[in-house]
Each structure stands twice: as C-alpha cells, then as structure tokens.
DNA sequence: AACTAATCTTGATCTACATCAAGTTCTTTC
DNA sequence: GAAAGAACTTGATGTAGATCAAGATTAGTT
C-alpha cells in the first residue's frame, strides 16, 4: 500500500528503513471510487493526498460555469487545495477521482508532527515544491505562448500517460482550449503523422 | 542592507539574533542598475537573488520573438531561474532589473551550507515555496478564465504597486495580452470609473 | 533645451479559437 | 443486452483580442 510513497521519498532524501516505517504511520490509507469527489470547492480540507494508485484532477469553476483543470495527479503525485489545507480557508478547487484510486492522506497535524520528528521531511517537501514551481512556471509560459496544436503536442511528450487515461474534455480544460478545438487538433495531428 | 531579508525570514520562522547574524553572512550583496541583466537565457546561474530594493522581472522569449514575463520581483521577493540554479541547466529565463536594485545573492553551495547549519531555513524555504505554488496556480486559472479587462483589474488589486512601477508592455506580457490591448483596457477602465 | 529613442495610444483589419448546433460513438446501468 | 446518457466529432458562424500601421507622449542623453 505504500510502495509509491516510499519510492517517492527515497528519490529525494535518504531515510533508514526504521524512519520510513515511522513516516508511513502518519498517513491514513483511503480508497476512492471513480467520479467521487475528494474535495468540494467551498469546503475546508484537513488533508493532503498522496496518490498510490489511480488518477485525480483538481479544477476550479469560473463565473461562466466553465471548468479549469489545475492539476492531474496520477500515481506518485500529491494533490490538495493548498490554501485550504494550510490556512483552513475555504477551498477554491474541486478534486475528483478520474479512476478508482488509492490515496494516502496526511492531516495538517500529522504533517506537523512528522516534520517535527523527521526534519529530513522538511527537505523532502521543499524539493517536491521546487519541482512544482518549475513545472507551473513552464505551464504559464506555455499557456501564453503556444497555439492549441503546440500545447497538445507538448502534452503528448510531457504527459503521454495522462493523455491516454484522462477524458479529452479534461485534457482540453487543462490546456486551456475547448473540447471541440482539441478534437480538431487531434485529427490534424493524426493526419500529419501518417500523411 | 539586510532589513528586507530579515523581515522576510522573521515573518515565517522564529530565529535568534545570533542565528540571523550567521544567516546574513551567507549572502553576497550586489547592486544592479536599471536595464542591466542579472541573467541571460542560455547561461547557467549559480545564484538565487533576494531583492532588498528595486524591481526585477524574469521572462522568456518564444520562437516568434515574443517576450513572456514569468515574474516580477520587487523588494522582499526572490528571483532566479530555479532549474538552472538547482540543476546547473541552461537558464530558459532572462532576468532584468527594471529599476536600480540591491540584491542579496545566495550560491547553491552557500544555500546548502546554510541549510546544514540552520535547519530552520529548510522550513523557511518550504513555506516560501508553498506560497509561490498557491500564487502560480491562481495565475494559471486566471490566465485561462479571465478576459483582458478582468486580468487587468485583478492585477490592480493584487499588485497595485507593480502596476505603478513596471512599464505597461511588461505588465501586458505578464497578463498574457498585447500592449495595445492593455492600453485599450486601461482607457476603458478609467472611463468606467468616472462615468 | 533639443535631439533621439523608447513607450504608449488610437484606428483599421485579420485570425485563431470559441460558441452554437446536430449528429455519432462510446459507457453506464438496470 | 437494450436503453439512456455521457463524451466525442464535425460543420457553420461569431468574436475577443492580435496584428499592422501611424501618430502622440514621455524619458534619456549630450
């Protein structure tokens, strides 16, 4: 149940088997079925989730009732509404399971205790966040500078896996284009490949 | 010379005056004049910069030679090309001073030593990055969901200071619109106010 | 102070993508 | 396994904002 988590931690910091054993116990396993919501915008979440298995998405809904996918979280990724989790604010994002998923949940309190007992984990989370920032900055530039087709092609090589697993409407939303445009772009790209 | 830095650290973690004194010495003060580049895309940077005074911007240049402002950094903010700083990759962003500025530079090595000697700073940087992530996610959603006018108004209340200090072409680029559109939006908004 | 160059404004035109609409295919579910 | 409902495709039309172009301000330099 904790394989992905352990691999995820080991990738960034060196921890002894004993430490890992202790760290594991701060997490609460939870299964969530496809289409179930892990978080509804407006609620306050006490948890941050590590995805052991499955796929989730976080998204906001704007005034025109359009959805905007903020993040996809497949195995090995973390997902929450950070503002709500850290500050107890009302969440602005919804989080939905796109597949039957297995999560490892961390409450704010458990996280603080864990960081207290295992200072190495401060470093772990810092490194994790550094990578997020790099990816988010790139996404902003991509959103501002690429055409619909370029955005799609970029996703093809950055996240080929998610492209296979997530419904196209959500991929379109993640890329900042409509499902119709994505459909046309896909046709275009597939013709370009064979022709 | 370190007032902003000290305030910035104190805001997030509690540190003794002695610790602060030690921490200060990991930073190298540097002045940079308006229009000077702190970093050129393609170079590798050894430094991350804390802005004591002044204003900088980081930006990328796309294939059509358009600039895209990734970040503005006024007093109290940090700026670098993270990927280059952390991994020694070639920088993808340029960093330019928009005003005569005073920076406090941290090399990767100094940062690692500082984190070693002052584990509290791990926490400090983690908290700093959490805030960045929250802001970046919001910016992505804003970029995808708001009209040009809404983007401008949002900036008016999120960063009124930068709106005053940075040239409009760079603000337009930050918002993902052209300078012409920004000019029209500003006219529109100012008419709306009085009329 | 006058010259130069950058920045900002305004108008006319163009275009990538959104929107609307109607059909098709794939998924649930009972 | 048939019916209902999502999700995807395709075409026709609309539009926000880009691009192009030319003038008006503003700022920097000698």
User: How near does any CA of chain B get to the CA of A79, in Å?
Assistant: 12
* Half-sphere exposure for A2 (CA within 13 Å, toward CB): 15
| pLDDT confidence band for B194 (50 / 70 / 90) | low
- Choose among B64, B126, B143: nearest Cβ to A122: B126
pLDDT mean over A154-161: 96
| pLDDT confidence band for B195 (50 / 70 / 90) | low
Confirm if B96 and B60 have CB atoms less than 8 A apart. Answer: no
Strand D proximal to A168 Cβ, under 7 A: yes
- Total tally of structural domains belonging to chain B: 1
Which positions in chain A touch B60 (Cβ < 8 Å)? 141, 145
Give dist(CA B110, CA A98) in Å, integer: 44
Q: Please provide the average confidence, as pLDDT, over all residues in chain A.
A: 95
Neighbours of B6 (CB within 10 A): 15
- Choose among B86, B119, B130: nearest Cβ to A119: B119
Residue B116 predicted with pLDDT over 70:
yes
Report the share of chain A in percent with pLDDT over 70: 98
Q: Residues A67-117: pLDDT tens digits? A: 999 999 999 999 999 999 999 999 999 999 999 999 999 999 999 999 999
Say if the Cβ atoms of A86 and B133 lie within 8 Å. Answer: no
ipTM of model: 0.94
pLDDT mean over B17-22: 96
Residue B17 predicted with pLDDT over 90:
yes
Neighbours of B180 (CB within 10 A): 9
User: For residue A188, which phi and psi values (nearest 5 degrees)?
Assistant: -55, -50
Give dist(CA B72, CA B59) in Å, integer: 9
Residue A184 lies in a domain: no
Of all residues in chain A, the one with the smallest CA distance to B60 is: A141
Strand C proximal to B107 Cβ, under 7 A: no
Q: How would you list the strands of the sheet with B94-97, edge to edge?
A: B37-39, B94-97, B55-61, B67-74
Residue B93 lies in a domain: yes
Residue A93 lies in a domain: yes
Give dist(CA A40, CA B187) in Å, integer: 39
User: How near does any CA of chain A get to the CA of B4, in Å?
Assistant: 22
C1’ D28 / CA A135, Å: 39
Strand C proximal to B98 Cβ, under 7 A: no
Residue B14 lies in a domain: yes
- How many helices and strands, by DSSP H and E, does chain B display? 9, 8
**HEC letters along B64-132:** CCCEEEEEEEECCCEECCHHHHHHCCCCCCEEEECCCEEEEEEEHHHHHHHHHHCCHHHHHHHHHHHHH
Say if the Cβ atoms of A68 and B144 lie within 8 Å. Answer: yes
Residue B67 lies in a domain: yes
User: For residue A143, which phi and psi values (nearest 5 degrees)?
Assistant: -60, -40
Confirm if A188 and A148 have CB atoms less than 8 A apart. Answer: no
Strand C proximal to A148 Cβ, under 7 A: yes
Residue A56 lies in a domain: yes
Say if the Cβ atoms of A62 and B139 lie within 8 Å. Answer: no
Q: Residues B52-102: pLDDT tens digits? A: 999 999 999 998 889 999 999 999 999 999 999 999 999 999 999 999 999
Give dist(CA A144, CA B63) in Å, integer: 12
C1’ D18 / CA A68, Å: 24
Residues in B 153-182 whose C-beta is less than 7 A from nucleic strand C are 167-169, 179-180, 182
Domain with A97, as residue range(s), is 3-120
Residues in A 22-41 whose C-beta is less than 7 A from nucleic strand C are 34
pLDDT mean over B29-40: 95
Of all residues in chain A, the one with the smallest CA distance to B130 is: A129
Residue B74 lies in a domain: yes
- How many helices and strands, by DSSP H and E, does chain A display? 9, 8
Confirm if A91 and A45 have CB atoms less than 8 A apart. Answer: yes
Residue A106 lies in a domain: yes
Q: Residues B117-153: pLDDT tens digits? A: 999 999 999 999 999 999 999 999 999 999 999 999 9
pLDDT score, position B191: 80
- CATH classification of the domain holding B20: 2.60.120.10
Q: Please provide the average confidence, as pLDDT, over all residues in chain B.
A: 95
Which positions in chain A touch B81 (Cβ < 8 Å)? none
Q: Residues A124-152: pLDDT tens digits? A: 999 999 999 999 999 999 999 999 999 99
């Amino acid at each position: 149940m904790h394989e992905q988590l352990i691999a995820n931690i080991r990738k960034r910091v060196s921890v002894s088997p004993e430490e890992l054993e202790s760290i594991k116990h701060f997490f609460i396993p939870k299964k969530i079925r496809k289409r179930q919501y892990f978080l509804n915008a407006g609620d306050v979440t006490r948890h941050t989730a590590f995805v052991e298995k499955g796929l989730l998405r976080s998204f906001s809904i704007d005034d025109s009732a359009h959805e905007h996918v903020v993040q996809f979280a497949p195995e090995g990724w973390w997902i929450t509404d950070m503002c709500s989790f850290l500050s107890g604010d009302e969440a602005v994002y919804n989080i939905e399971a796109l597949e039957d998923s297995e999560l490892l949940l961390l409450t704010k309190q458990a996280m603080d205790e864990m960081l207290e007992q295992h200072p190495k984990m401060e470093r772990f989370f810092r490194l994790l966040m550094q990578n997020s920032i790099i990816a988010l900055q790139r996404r902003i530039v991509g959103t501002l500078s690429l055409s619909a087709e370029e955005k799609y092609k970029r996703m093809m090589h950055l996240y080929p896996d998610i492209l296979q697993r997530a419904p196209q409407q959500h991929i379109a939303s993640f890329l900042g284009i409509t499902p119709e445009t994505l459909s046309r772009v896909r046709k275009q790209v597939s013709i370009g490949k064979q022709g």
